[in-house]
Structure 1
């Protein structure tokens, strides 16, 4: 694998053209746009994103889902046959806020103490800003990009992706040789992530007078037994090397009719996180087996409500190595660029899910997740991303964009050599 480099060897490397003030300004501009989902306000960000990408010379379009949700598609490059394409996939929507929990207005994009604070700063408008700055740095450096850089800045990731990346895939609009998703990873390279299987568990009891609870059967009490059986249970004897063991969170409980009545019904909502290779049927069966083994006399029904697959880029993989090399080479010094991150850190898995699954599972596009910030700050009050992380991510992405054509050419050459060895042709 050849490293990313400028066309003129006497010029500085592309990552040195990343401007910390500019990436911060872009991220703050995006945070100030309220794109909460639900209800799905991504259209508010379309003008700003289109203007930013058009100013860089991208051909920009807006794809609108059947439900009317927009995603921005932009290409920097000629789109010529045989020219490699690096895709940047990022989501524009953010989760709702409880404003009373925040110490600052959530959509002000406040910069304080080396942090950008606001809903979406970490998840993931900071990552989108870093990717845009990466392309800006390539352009400013004068490097001749041998690959097309495509942005898919999509709707609806936070509620499953059906109105964003999934529709782009279904429409045949996702074509790339590799993809980087700049979700928050603490500047690590993530190659695997859990999926989610959610369900409603209906528990049935027998009503009776609350003064004599032994004469009926409490659905609430039986639901408590199911909760004990499932919550924090171990579903696999052999954990995944990056994702650990699957988990089950009993997230909500609803039941009973009055304080003086034995509860005739109760309902649990569960979220069972999954590992790569687990199907919806596999997970459903594991839930039934766990309940039946622990609560054989309980009357219940499991109603699945949602499923998204886990995904991974199996290691070793040359694209994962390429992005990790860009991460290390783009550092201004050889010191770690984030908490606990260093040259021996290795690849990581994510307990969260992202749109990377559509690219890995449906299209077999090699995809890694790498971006600024931490999932520990995402979705909470006073969400933030460190300004240094924005700059570091932009440096890595600039180097990846500049070096992707060389990487793709080396891969094609390796494939040709392998083919010659197999067939004996020269």
Structure 2
């Protein structure tokens, strides 16, 4: 069977139905409850004689692992998509968030773009390969993971299970609008706390105001020079103070304040060095301001990830995408982080993000994915596995 014939086996009706079914299977995180979605993946692929198993993470939490066996003469290839979604939100939707409606050439619903559409495309590709009995030298592994929207617990657990196998690359079907992303920014979130002493609001001089201490830190943080070099794909470093809370009543001097900072880093930056800069600010203020007390600690820490454009898998995949779409390939990067943070510390393989969803649809009301992009992605995934594992 040639690649054109293989692509022709990927039918629009099949990938659309799979996307609809996944959207209709609620898996909002928190709390997660991905078990039903994982069971759907297992049953859908088991019907095509693909080896499947559930990877349990606790009550109603699970990932699904599927394997289309090759001849074991070459390394495996991992396709991955997360099962969980963010909540629906309070804004009114034009389509039922978990209805999986098809209208205007799109599948609508929470997770359609991020990233049940991408997962459906990967599953459809795997089923086409299995049913056509395409010979593969290595295994095609599909990991449908739990928990990406919070802590990537599914990716971390699956990576440990696969850690002793030879793997040639990891594809994650994040919403990229079928463009090739080969890098993602690091994430470094820190929490700062200040500690003071309460007093009556009419006698502030008798207390120590923790909010004003936080203001001092933030004033210094705004001036803090955090060195970086612009990355050719990811661009520059960003920082944003995104939460702050303190005080209990208008007439009580606050004795506690907490703030969090979201920093997105680029290759070449060292997170421990940034933390030391923040610690130095606190140390200097404690020496300059009487009774100044504060702490800083990381609460989310993942380094940037990049795969060189010259990597053989990247080059082969870009050739496939160009051939099948007729588009010029321009490599891009993600400002967000993906399940790569769970996989790559263990597997250390080339990463490619590629999926049918439009990035701006992620986490939005009236989320949708275009049917044409779903079909295109599924066909590309089928041909990619056949070529890389053939």
What interval of TM-score do these two structures reach, taking the shorter chain for normalisation?
0.7 to 0.9
Indicate if the aligned counterparts of 2:152 and 2:341 stay in contact, CA closer than 8 A. Answer: no
Paired positions, count: 386
SS at match of 2:107: strand
SS at match of 2:336: coil
Are 1:14 and 2:1 counterparts? Answer: no
- Structure 1 residues 400 and 58, CA gap change in structure 2 (3 angstroms): same
Indicate if the aligned counterparts of 2:228 and 2:269 stay in contact, CA closer than 8 A. Answer: no
Are 1:306 and 2:300 counterparts? Answer: yes
Match of 1:329 in 2: 323
- Structure 1 residues 56 and 229, CA gap change in structure 2 (3 angstroms): farther
Match of 1:420 in 2: none
Match of 1:377 in 2: 361
Counterpart among 16, 29, 36 of residue 28 in structure 2:
36
51-60 or 244-253, which deviates more = 244-253
- Structure 1 residues 227 and 74, CA gap change in structure 2 (3 angstroms): same
Indicate if the aligned counterparts of 1:71 and 1:154 stay in contact, CA closer than 8 A. Answer: yes
Q: CA deviation at 1:206?
A: 4.9
1:283 and 1:23 mapped to 2: Cα distance?
45
Match of 1:151 in 2: 142
Q: CA deviation at 1:215?
A: 7.3
SS at match of 2:13: helix
Indicate if the aligned counterparts of 1:231 and 1:248 stay in contact, CA closer than 8 A. Answer: no
- Structure 1 residues 89 and 349, CA gap change in structure 2 (3 angstroms): same
Match of 1:128 in 2: 119
Structure 2 unaligned segments of length 5 or more: list them: none
2:257 and 2:230 mapped to 1: Cα distance?
32
Match of 2:98 in 1: 107
Q: CA deviation at 1:397?
A: 0.9
Are 1:243 and 2:237 counterparts? Answer: no
Deviations 1:355-394 (A, max 9, x none): 2234333222222111111232111222221222212211
- Structure 1 residues 54 and 273, CA gap change in structure 2 (3 angstroms): same
- Structure 1 residues 316 and 121, CA gap change in structure 2 (3 angstroms): same
2:106 and 2:245 mapped to 1: Cα distance?
40
Are 1:177 and 2:168 counterparts? Answer: yes
TM-score norm. by structure 2 comes to 0.88
Are 1:193 and 2:187 counterparts? Answer: no
Q: CA deviation at 1:59?
A: 1.0
The residue correspondences of 1:176-325 to structure 2 (distance < 5 A) are: 176-211=167-202, 217-227=208-218, 229-230=220-221, 235-276=226-267, 278=269, 280-289=271-280, 297=289, 299-325=293-319
Match of 2:38 in 1: 46
Q: CA deviation at 1:255?
A: 0.7
The alignment yields a C-alpha RMSD, in angstroms, of: 2.9
2:342 and 2:151 mapped to 1: Cα distance?
11
Q: CA deviation at 1:256?
A: 1.5
SS at match of 2:149: helix
1:304 and 1:151 mapped to 2: Cα distance?
32
Q: CA deviation at 1:49?
A: 0.9
Structure 1 unaligned segments of length 5 or more: list them: 1-5, 335-341, 407-426
Counterpart among 341, 352, 357 of residue 336 in structure 2:
352
SS at match of 2:359: coil
TM-score norm. by structure 1 comes to 0.81
Match of 1:414 in 2: none
